[in-house]
Amino acid sequence: MPDFKPDPKKIAFVASPAAEAQDAFTRLTERYGAVGTDEAEVIVALGGDGLMLQTLHKSISTGKPIYGMNRGSVGFLMNEYAEEALIERIWTAEQSVIHPLAMTTVDIHGERHDALAINEVSMLRQTSQIAKLRILVDNQPRMDELVADGILVATPAGSTAYNLSASGPILPLNAPLLALTPISPFRPRRWRGALLPERVSLRIEVLESAKRPVSATADHHEVRDVASVDVKMDTSKSMVLLHDPGHSLDERILREQFGA
């Protein structure tokens, strides 16, 4: 999307319920005006990373670019907040295109559930019983039994979130990879996960699912008592994030790797 210059009169603002975000919403809409998200050419999100994820999920079907400004706590996906020169900042912003993960689960009752994840798909034990999982990549068994609290599959955009907390690798945004990261693994003792090509189909089966129940979560969408989970990147869907020059997701991920 070179030379992206949306109509200044076709900007929509969305904000988290936090007082700081709501105050910013009032100030910016009074200053720049606003339209509904259906009419907008660009969406400005005011809040933290949680709001950005919600906004990205809502825009998956439209592909409308999103420019976030931090009025929350973490704000890794957001730009710095400023009321001045918003139109110019949007016009000169760098664009990052990301794709979601498609999660398909079958629960122990045989029911199927579908959801999309922008950051990660995670599986976690539901009780004090540790989970036992079987991992298949492109229908080929790769690990017959992982004994752990769980496992997650992260996109490059999500690799600095839950994946990083679980000691997973940070992935450059343009890397055609997925991070497969165990959560508190017990056996195999030394296994720390794998890097997979983004094109692969991944299946994780829950062993002893009645005795050792496991939930699966795509970002914030949770399914409990799962029997199997299939994960694949959906490249047919694209989302565009806008960042100020020098503060793109690529740059932020690179800085994170050096502790900046």
- What the block records as the tokens of 94 is 């760098």
DSSP code for 222? E
User: Residue with structure tokens 């229908």?
Assistant: 139
The DSSP H or E segment spanning 30 is: helix 19-32
Peptide bond into 169 cis (omega under 30): no
d(CA 260, CA 240): 25
Is 49 catalytic? The answer is: yes
Task: Indicate which residue of 3, 49, 107, 250 is catalytic.
Answer: 49
d(CA 221, CA 58): 13
- What the block records as the tokens of 79 is 């730009």
Backbone φ and ψ for 206, nearest 5 degrees, come out as -95, 120
- DSSP one-letter string for 61-112: TT---EEEEE-SS--TT-BPP-STTHHHHHHT-EEEEE-PEEEEEEETTS-E
Backbone φ and ψ for 91, nearest 5 degrees, come out as -65, -30
- Smallest Cα–Cα separation from 167: which of 182, 155, 189? 182
d(CA 94, CA 117): 23
Active-site residue numbers?
49
